[in-house]
Amino acid sequence: EARLLSKLSLMIPENDYHAALHAQGKNETDYYHYHDYYEILFYLGEQEAFYEKDDGILTICKGDVVFCRMFENHVVRCANNEGYQRFCIGIEPHLLGRFSKKNANLYLLFSNQNPGYPVMHLDMARMQKYVQMIEELQQLKKTPGEQIIASSIIHRMLGCLYCVIQPKSGPETANIQHMDMVGSIIHFVEQNLDQDLSLDVVSQHYNYSPAYVNRIFKEITGSSLVRYIIEKRISCAKQMLYGNM
């Protein structure tokens, strides 16, 4: 069974996004898992790897960009990172909504309206633009000012990908609105883990019925809201134990 890998379980500090270069050592996530955030993977390895999800296995090569939806079961099959170098960006769902514009909805990057979903093949000439941005991110320190610069680089990456793909609005528009709503719920849960998070409380916050909120959440994520909250709290408890609390 796939495991939830949230920011809490990965010991990642609170932020709207996080980025990591996997270049050396053992692949620590060589098992089926899913995230409560969106993920973009830039594959930079010299050797082919395999991106496996519920509906099949795809071969990924140097220059490929992988778009992974929230709660989508997946794994990159490679025992070690040497030769399978990749740069992963985890993006909080509410950040996609904040960065989006009226005629450029970034949620579409992770929908079937993206002709490059789930894997977009780029030659290294076109990938070079993203490699330069990755290098910029890697060189930044964690000072408050440089965190603003990092956010602007992530924003630029998303804009460039959108320009390449040029997804078109269509029959999935209502589904995109639901994705935005679920992203907001996930953010609300994360900010209130130590509070009462019954289905009634969450639904009242959004002025919808409990049945509607639970149906939309399960439709987008495949998980019930109650189950997600339990898994999130377990991740939080594990983090506290690792920190000797």
pLDDT more than 90, % of the chain: 55
**Per-residue pLDDT at 225:** 93
**Per-residue pLDDT at 142:** 75
Q: Is residue 171 predicted with pLDDT exceeding 60?
A: no
More confident residue, 215 or 240: 215
Give me the mean pLDDT over the 49-76 stretch.
Answer: 94
Give me the mean pLDDT over the 204-227 stretch.
Answer: 92
**Per-residue pLDDT at 11:** 61
pTM of the shown model: 0.88
The pLDDT-based confidence of 175 (bands split at 50, 70, 90) is confident
**Per-residue pLDDT at 14:** 60
Distance CA 106, CA 93 (A): 10
**Per-residue pLDDT at 174:** 64
The pLDDT-based confidence of 18 (bands split at 50, 70, 90) is confident
**Per-residue pLDDT at 156:** 95
Query: What is residue 236's three-state secondary structure?
Result: helix
Average pLDDT score over the chain:
89
What is the residue-wise DSSP string for 79-132?
SBSTT--EEEEEE-HHHHHHH-BTTB-GGGGGSTTSTT-SEEE--HHHHHHHHH
The pLDDT-based confidence of 39 (bands split at 50, 70, 90) is very high
Q: Is residue 78 predicted with pLDDT exceeding 80?
A: yes
The pLDDT-based confidence of 165 (bands split at 50, 70, 90) is confident
**Per-residue pLDDT at 160:** 95
Give me the mean pLDDT over the 90-99 stretch.
Answer: 88
Amino acid 143 reads T
Name the CA radius of gyration of the chain, rounded: 18
Q: Which residue(s) pair with 52 in the sheet?
A: 57, 75
